[in-house]
Amino acid sequence: MSTRKWTIRACAGLALGLGIGIGVAGAQGFGERFGFGSAATPADIAKIDIDVMPDGRGAPAGQGTVDEGMRVYNDKCAACHGENLGGVKGTGAAPLVGGRGTLNSGKPKKTVESYWPYASILFDYTKRSMPFDSPGTMTDNEIYAVVAYILNKGNIIDKSTVMNAKTLAAVKMPNRNGFIFNPGGGGHRPDVRNYR
């Protein structure tokens, strides 16, 4: 047999051996205990299990009014999002209201008012990540209140609506039907027909 054939066989053997070796090592590593960390307790999980769904699932107890929300907003949000909710240049904080009807204008202005399909996202997002420089510091009542204020400023709810788990789920956002469900494409996606 020629040297070349031997070389080919040796290489094939080596590749096969390596493949099996990696496979076995992988199988051994799987499920192995490393002797550090501890099992998450229900309390650990509760701290991060805060998602609020469009139908109100996960929304906590509590409530807030538009007037209370104005005070919360001026105190904790206005520095970045602007007194009139139009955003402040240089902070990176987006305008929260306006832009309604612009989505298919060729120059879409996407805000909570014009773009977000469910009010639950506003509660969830605020609780999770705002104020930008101190997330996790607000009470649920403060979050309900500031959500009510923003939605009122966006002309989505009237001034007398008290925001709570039930009224949050009942809010009908202007772009509620602007998203389509695309199971093959990762779930809910903006309906491109609206953004030409």
Contacting positions for ligand HEC (CB under 6 A): 76-77, 79-81, 91-94, 96, 111-112, 122, 125-126, 130-133, 146
Instruction: Between 29 and 114, name the residue whose CB sits nearer to ligand HEC.
Output: 114
Instruction: Between 125 and 179, name the residue whose CB sits nearer to ligand HEC.
Output: 125
Instruction: Between 125 and 195, name the residue whose CB sits nearer to ligand HEC.
Output: 125
Q: How far, in Å, CA of 154 to CA of 185, rounded? A: 31
To ligand HEC, the closest distance from the beta carbon of 63 in angstroms equals 16
Compute the CA torsion angle 153, 144, 112, 138 (nearest 10 deg).
Answer: 110
Instruction: Between 77 and 171, name the residue whose CB sits nearer to ligand HEC.
Output: 77
Q: How far, in Å, CA of 195 to CA of 102, rounded? A: 9
To ligand HEC, the closest distance from the beta carbon of 9 in angstroms equals 56
To ligand HEC, the closest distance from the beta carbon of 130 in angstroms equals 4
To ligand HEC, the closest distance from the beta carbon of 47 in angstroms equals 20
Nearest to 146 by CA among 48, 54, 77: 77
Q: How far, in Å, CA of 173 to CA of 70, rounded? A: 20
Q: How far, in Å, CA of 104 to CA of 78, rounded? A: 29
Q: How far, in Å, CA of 162 to CA of 7, rounded? A: 79
